[in-house]
Amino acid sequence: MSTAIKPEYQKELFGQPIGLYILFLTEMWERFSYYGMRALLVLYMTTATIGDDRGAGLGWTSKEALALYGWYTMLVYVMSIPGGMIADKLIGQKKAVLVGAIILCLGHGVLVLTDIWAFYTGLGLVILGVGLLKPNISTMVGGLYKDGDIRRDKGFSIFYIGINLGSLLATMVVGLVVAEWGWHAGFGLAGIVMVLGLINYIYGQKYLTHVGNLVEAKDDPNEISYGKLYSKLFSSPTQLTFTVILALLSGIGWYYLDWGYGLLFLFLTAIAALLMMIYKELDSQAYKDRFLVLLLSFIMVIIFWGAFEQAGGLMNLYTETNTDRVLFGWEIPTVMFQSLNAGFIILFATAVAGYWASRKLKGKEASSLFKMALGIIIMGFGFLFMVFAAMEFEKSGTSSMIWLVLAYLFHTIGELCISPVALSFITKLAPVKYASLMMGVYFAATGLGNKVAGIVGESATDYGEKTIFTGIVIFTVIIGGLFIAILKPLKRLTHGVEDQERDLKHEEAEGFELADD
């Protein structure tokens, strides 16, 4: 065994690479800024322009606010696709995270201003910043581990705790800040903590020297540019036909809906064409099959977040208007209920990850696809408690907080079964040279789920909360059940990528250390 001193990036803390904790803290402060903003957004937009104790809002209707909420939360994640491309082709993941963090600091700074132009400009900068940071920092987490290391899933769960610790702190603190100093003080606080995240990331570079670096095309003779992939579309009749059909449907959407949907559909058409060409260019059937399974798993991602993200929209408004929030004589700020999800994640994340790892080592069913399908079902059952809340409100004119607590508990357990698992699943199945792009597609799927959430939330104006909550329960259970029913053929298409996972913590090879030195 080598006696050479390990470089900084190979050092460990609590059995995980120290670099994990640098990324953990960076993501924690970035998520503080994002979830603090997310928790305030709909409430700020629907507050009257004459103001209340928190200051003047925009005075929009619930339907208008939920529509913008859907677009904003969707674009935040959809921008992960160009963010991933920029990292893959131009600057690498590490620099993309740095640039994204700087843009986020600027965006939250602009939101401190009270003018409407500052509101839209700040949202735009946040969208661009998250698009660069989010997919690339997650890909860097996967790069900390060697292939087959069973610690990868647990590492992503620890990373996920960072995400939700930021969310917990934001939703606990921002609501109090807004109650005391107003809406724009809350926006300003989000900017301050993003600066902390930027400082942490810069400081921790010595622990990240081996991940997130740009791979130059000259270093990889098989590298294919996105431009060349698109050019090959015209010599691929099947892929070209599907692209033309999707483009025509986009034009119809532009005409019958509005220009925003038209642009979205055209963007998705371009991404679909790129994915079809990547699939065609993969050089083995195993890679093609894994790529297909990965794309199918994104369907679960869209459906999950389409239901789950009612938390920041419809459930947020329901909490504000229909829930008895008084506890021991103190009315709990609506924003603070958002902390339930993050708090439950911090309590249960490692336990859930440990349960699945133990189950895997015992040879029991613990595939990523099974976890994700089960997560959708568990999350869906959480909306049963919102149905009970709506029924109680119909009878008495108010509903108890306990229904929200139980709903968020089930949502959290479902989230722990799908979200960190999906992040890890991508790093296992995605072709290496398209890793950042596929992480971007995952976050774009999350963004589409957010837009679906906004559309579903808007429909509550016409159909009522109880109908919407009931529909979510039924739909999610059906979808989760269908994926479990086809689990075996889907697992075969992964070609055993998860079958050989084991604990590699103490399996450092001598040659590996010497080579890295």
Summarised one tens digit per residue, pLDDT across range 389-407 is 999 998 988 899 999 999 9
Q: Shortest CA distance to 377 belongs to which of 429, 414, 343?
A: 414
CA–CA distances in Å: residue 85 to residues 82, 143, 215, 438, 481: 5, 17, 13, 9, 34
What residues pair up with 330 in beta bridges, in sequence order? 327
Q: Does the pLDDT of residue 131 top 60, yes or no?
A: yes
**Range of weakest confidence among 91-95, 430-434, 504-508:** 504-508
Q: How far is CA 448 from CA 29, 261, 299, 388, 444, in A?
A: 24, 12, 10, 28, 6
Q: Are 373 and 300 in contact (CB under 8 A)?
A: yes
Asked whether the beta carbons of 196 and 29 are under 8 A apart, the reply is yes
Q: What are 366-392's pLDDT values in tens digits?
A: 788 899 999 999 999 999 999 999 999
CB 223 within 8 A of CB 103: no
Report residue 255 as tokens: 């005409």
CA distance 442 to 431: 14
pLDDT of residue 160: 73
Q: What is the CATH number of domain 15-215+283-498?
A: 1.20.1250.20
116: Cα within 13 Å, side-chain hemisphere: 6
**Which pLDDT does position 224 carry in this prediction?**
53
Out of 84-93, 209-218, 330-339, which region has the weakest mean confidence (pLDDT)? 209-218
First to last CA, the chain: 14
Q: How confident is the model at residue 508 (pLDDT cuts 50, 70, 90)?
A: very low
Residue 21 identity: Y
**Burial level of 345, CB count in 10 A (0-12/13-18/19+)?**
buried
Of all helices (H) and strands (E), which one includes residue 12? strand 12-13
pLDDT at 6: 54
- The pLDDT of residue 427 is 76
pLDDT at residue 8, rounded to an integer: 57
The burial of 451, by beta-carbon neighbours within 10 Å (0-12 exposed, 13-18 middle, 19 or more buried), is given as: buried
Res 152: pLDDT: 74
- Which residue, among 376, 445, 367, 455, has the nearest Cα to 410 in the 3D structure? 376
CA distance 500 to 428: 12
Least confident of 132-136, 224-228, 311-315: 224-228
Mean pLDDT for all residues in the chain: 81
Do 306 and 453 meet the contact criterion of CB atoms below 8 Å apart? yes
* Greater model confidence, 515 or 375: 375
Q: For the CA atoms of 152, 446, 315, 369, what is the dihedral angle to 10 degrees?
A: -50
Interval 15-47: pLDDT, tens: 778 888 888 889 888 888 888 877 777 778 877
Q: Does pLDDT of 353 surpass 60? A: yes
- Per-residue pLDDT, 379: 93
Q: Whole-angstrom Cα distance, residue 118 to residue 109?
A: 9
Q: Which of 171-175, 194-198, 322-326, 479-483 has the highest mean pLDDT?
A: 479-483
The pLDDT tens digits for 432-448 are 777 767 877 887 888 88
Residue 161 contacts residue 350 (beta carbons within 8 Å): yes
Q: What pLDDT was estimated at residue 12?
A: 66
Reported pTM = 0.75
Measured distance CA(396)–CA(78) in Å, rounded: 42
Structure tokens at 148: 């087959």
Whole-Å CA distances, 181 to 54, 122, 175, 176: 7, 20, 10, 9
- pLDDT for 406 equals 94
Check residue 507 and give its pLDDT.
45
41: tokens are 């957004």
pLDDT tens figures, 178-205: 777 777 788 888 888 889 889 999 988 8
What are the tens digits of pLDDT across the range 277-292? 888 888 888 888 988 9
Question: What is the model's pLDDT at position 148?
Answer: 66
The answer, yes or no, to whether residue 99 has pLDDT greater than 70, is yes
Extract the tokens encoding 492. 């075969």
Phi, psi dihedral angles at 312 (to 5 degrees): -85, -10
Paired strand residues for 55: 52
DSSP class of residue 430? S
Give the pLDDT confidence score for residue 10 in this predicted structure: 60
Percent of the chain scoring above 70 in pLDDT: 88
| Both structure tokens of 319 | 């909490």
pLDDT tens across 208-259, in order?
Answer: 887 877 766 555 554 557 777 788 888 888 888 988 998 898 888 777 777 7
Q: Which two tokens stand for residue 261?
A: 């949907």
309/42 Cα distance (integer angstroms)? 13
Residues 6+ apart with CB under 8 A from 280: 232, 236, 239
Cα–Cα nearest to 420, from 158, 146, 84: 158
pLDDT for res 3:
43
Rounded mean pLDDT of 98-110?
91
Answer yes or no: is pLDDT of 510 > 60. Answer: no
